[in-house]
Amino acid sequence: MGFFERLFGIQLPALPDIPFGRYTDAYKTEAQLAAWNRSVELFDQDRHVDAYREFFAYLRDDTVDNVRWNDDDSGVIRFEFWQGSQRVTGRAAADLVAAESKIARVKDLNVGFLRRLMEYNYNLKFCRFALDPENNLTLRFDTAGIDASPLKLLHALRELAIHADKQDDLLLDEFRTLQPVEKRIEADIPDAEKAVKYDYLVRQIHAAFELLDHAVPDPNQYPGGYAYLLLSMAFRLDYLLRPEGFLMDALEKIYGIYFTKDERSNQLKIISLRKEFQKILDRPREQIFHELYRTRSTFGINAPANHERIVSLIDGELPNMDWHLSQNHLALALAVPQYIAGNALFQNVPPKPDRDLLHLFFQITEPAFFQALGFPVYATPQGQPDKRLVLQAIRNIADHNRAEYPQLRPDLSRLDFSSLPLFARSYLDMIRHLDLTKAEH
């Protein structure tokens, strides 16, 4: 029985194979953790090649087929793994471990991008950009076998993979002297899915701009609500659209602009955020389509967070919707819990029950988007949460996770279905009071 079948408690037709949110490697299986322990032990025994074999078993996620390797009688393991649109290849032997990812083919040694990469190299800890004999720009890592402990390989390959994936689209978009090296494999998604995501992107930004232009309340006097509005939109778009390239970088930049400590007032930062969203609107539709594709990854970007981190986020932010509720600024009030849910998924990897419930939060609050993609709807025809379906979904999430979290019993009496903003507030309050004590093994 599939996850969504458990949510509804009934047999459902096959659902679209559409992932949401950034890939995470935080939910390792017991078999993966055992492989890590064996890898460390074997390396300490100077059985390096055997240690590397277990190391790649630790990295491999069978659900996405992200890591492959083989070894021959010569004592060399040849491996490859995926991070987003980038393939990393390498070899691991007793005396040397080396890996690289080809970023782009260089037609002309442009001073601009060479200087960029020299500066970038300065900030890398394990890797460096280099040119291979075929004039391919690559990101490389190598180390002597005596230093290639599993922990060092984990940090080094993570750095290589994440920076290679981030830079390929950005460099190709900015420098016309660069060309793609490898064709993406198994990355395309249907144009119909891209169209739904693009239309949602445009509608969300226009709706936010309309609220800003309506100016009730005045953004100059009450900038806080509009900050929640724009930041929650950035987090939500990142989670729901799962973009790559320029669009992913633009959403990250929006987050950075607001939280950078500088002399700008909140009012000026909101103006800056609007300009960044306008750049997204100005980008041609076909270029946005180009940045919506399916990927396989090996390393997650975000660090795991415990339930207390989510509780702290809810406690610190949720009261800020009260004034907007009292003034009947419902869209700005709703932006606060949307910000909390998006922030929790954008910056952290919450415990599995929190992650499942936060995903359900978006399914409930964005029914038209999920329906357009072919997913079940948790809302009434009027767009309000459907009480029966929502309660059943929450119960099934709890049942699905209770083996690992035996005290997971959401207090459904806390939920308020009288309006969408009140439901959103009560839903996060329900999450806040969960007991996520893990079972003893």
| Distances, alpha carbon 422 to alpha carbons 76, 333, 336, 425, 439, in Å | 60, 9, 11, 5, 33
Is the same domain home to 147 and 289? Answer: no
User: How confident is the model over 378-388, as pLDDT tens digits?
Assistant: 999 888 999 99
Tokens 């907007």 sit at which residue? 324
Q: Is residue 184, in this structure, part of any structural domain at all?
A: no
By residue range, what is the domain housing residue 403? Answer: 191-432
C-alpha dihedral sign at 193, 198, 201, 206: negative
Residue 71: predicted pLDDT? 84
| Interior angle at CA 149, CA 148 and CA 151, nearest 5 | 120
Residue 1: predicted pLDDT? 43
Q: Which of 146, 179, 212 is the last residue of a domain?
A: 179
Q: Are strands 67-71 and 348-349 parallel, antiparallel or unpaired?
A: unpaired
Q: Is residue 1, in this structure, part of any structural domain at all?
A: no
End-to-end CA distance of the chain: 26
Q: Is residue 211, in this structure, part of any structural domain at all?
A: yes
**What is the Cα–Cα distance from 20 to 189, expressed in whole angstroms?**
14
Total number of domains constituting the chain: 2
Is the same domain home to 336 and 373? Answer: yes
Is the same domain home to 202 and 317? Answer: yes
pLDDT under 70: residue ranges of the chain: 1-13, 182-187, 441
Residue 10: predicted pLDDT? 47
Is the same domain home to 97 and 209? Answer: no
Q: Which of 179, 203, 226 is the last residue of a domain?
A: 179
Q: What CATH code is carried by the domain that includes residue 39? A: 3.30.1460.10
Is the same domain home to 164 and 229? Answer: no
Amino acid at 401: N
Question: Among residues 198, 248, 254, 253, which one has the least CA distance to residue 230?
Answer: 254
Q: Is residue 19, in this structure, part of any structural domain at all?
A: no
**What is the Cα–Cα distance from 336 to 421, expressed in whole angstroms?**
9
Is the same domain home to 94 and 234? Answer: no
Residue 184: predicted pLDDT? 57
Residue 13: predicted pLDDT? 56
**What is the Cα–Cα distance from 354 to 410, expressed in whole angstroms?**
11
Is the same domain home to 45 and 136? Answer: yes
Q: Which of 179, 212, 237 is the last residue of a domain?
A: 179
Q: Is residue 2, in this structure, part of any structural domain at all?
A: no
Residue 359: predicted pLDDT? 97
Is the same domain home to 116 and 211? Answer: no
Is the same domain home to 328 and 384? Answer: yes
Q: Is residue 12, in this structure, part of any structural domain at all?
A: no
Q: Is residue 363, in this structure, part of any structural domain at all?
A: yes
Is the same domain home to 425 and 300? Answer: yes
Q: Is residue 346, in this structure, part of any structural domain at all?
A: yes
**The tokens of 52 are what?**
């590397």
| Distances, alpha carbon 17 to alpha carbons 20, 58, 365, in Å | 10, 25, 21
Residue 244: predicted pLDDT? 86
Is the same domain home to 124 and 252? Answer: no
Is the same domain home to 195 and 293? Answer: yes
**What is the Cα–Cα distance from 37 to 57, expressed in whole angstroms?**
11
CB 226 within 8 A of CB 211: yes
Count, in order, helices (H) and strands (E) of the chain.
17, 9
Question: Among residues 182, 97, 179, 109, which one has the least CA distance to residue 145?
Answer: 97
Residue 33: predicted pLDDT? 95
Residue 183: predicted pLDDT? 64
Q: What is the pTM of this model?
A: 0.87
Distance of CA 32 to the CA centre of its chain: 22
